[in-house]
Amino acid sequence: MKPNIETINLIKTFEGLRLEAYLDPVGIVTIGYGYTNDAGFGPGVKLGDKWSKRLAEEMLALGLEKFGQTILPMMTRAPTQSQFGAMLSLVWNIGVGSFSRSTCLKRFNAGDIEGAAEALQWFNKAGGKVLRGLVRRREAEAKLMLSDIDDRPIELVTARPDAEKTASKSTTIQATVATGVAGATGVGTAIGSLDGDAQMVVVIAACIAAIGLVWIFRERLKKLGGGV
């Protein structure tokens, strides 16, 4: 799932872009937009590694998609794009495991959005110390969660539209199947099993075929009559 631009910009702003591996405030080897070995995807990272900006962008996009697909099933109510983005930014920073056990998620699922935004801000420590950078990031994420910048709802389960025809019910496919069935069991039986549209397709196709056969028969008679 692709997050909205507000989420991406928030993450980029607070993670920053580092194209050479470094140690974060708690000693974790990091590169790109906050990529670490704990991400569980990509090439991995060790001190001395260097990335291109393109690779950093690709790993950010891949990571957000994977984390988004992982955390969305944890939500029992549909979030807006902004609510989802705020929690996705949090997960990018603290990891899926911590988020799955968080009060932020529990409050969100209970419908307490303001309470979720409050609990989100509790993740402001690294190595047991409150870091000003994390305080600012959590405040930005809480603001995004409570905003109506992007209030499009995200569907928890993608439903198949009732109006959408499946391949087995397609008018064209039904007509094709009917043509084959007709040869073995009779045209009447095959056509009778179809819906109105499919029946019309078969009848028209049969009429065209009949006209073609009549034309061929007449041409053959002309040739025979002319001695050709």
- Give per-residue pLDDT as tens, 85-95: 999 999 999 99
Residue whose C-alpha is closest to residue 77's, from 117, 44, 106, 36:
106
Q: Is 15 a catalytic residue?
A: yes
In the chain, the largest separation of any two C-alpha atoms, in whole Å, equals 105
pLDDT score at 64:
96
pLDDT for residue 1: 67
pLDDT at 41: 93
pLDDT per residue over 172-209, tens digit each? 333 333 333 334 334 443 444 445 554 454 445 554 55
pLDDT of residue 34: 96
Query: What contacts 24+ positions apart, CB below 8 Å, involve 112-115?
Result: 113/83, 113/145, 113/146, 114/146
Over residues 208-224, the pLDDT tens digits come to 555 555 455 455 545 54
pLDDT tens for each residue of 95-146: 999 999 999 999 999 999 999 999 999 999 998 999 999 999 999 999 999 9
Provide the CB-side half-sphere exposure for 225 (13 A, CA): 6
Per-residue confidence (pLDDT) for residue 154, from 0 to 100: 79
**pLDDT tens digits, one per residue of 28-64:** 999 999 999 999 899 999 999 999 999 999 999 999 9
Produce one character per residue of 97-116: b if its CB has 16 or more CB atoms within 10 Å, e if not: eebeebebbebbeeeebeeb
Write out pLDDT tens, residues 67-85.
999 999 999 999 999 999 9
Q: Which residue among 15, 58, 139, 219 is the active-site one?
A: 15
Enumerate residues 6+ apart whose C-beta is below 8 A from 102. Answer: 119, 120, 123
What are the tens digits of pLDDT across the range 143-177? Answer: 999 998 777 777 774 433 343 333 333 333 333 33
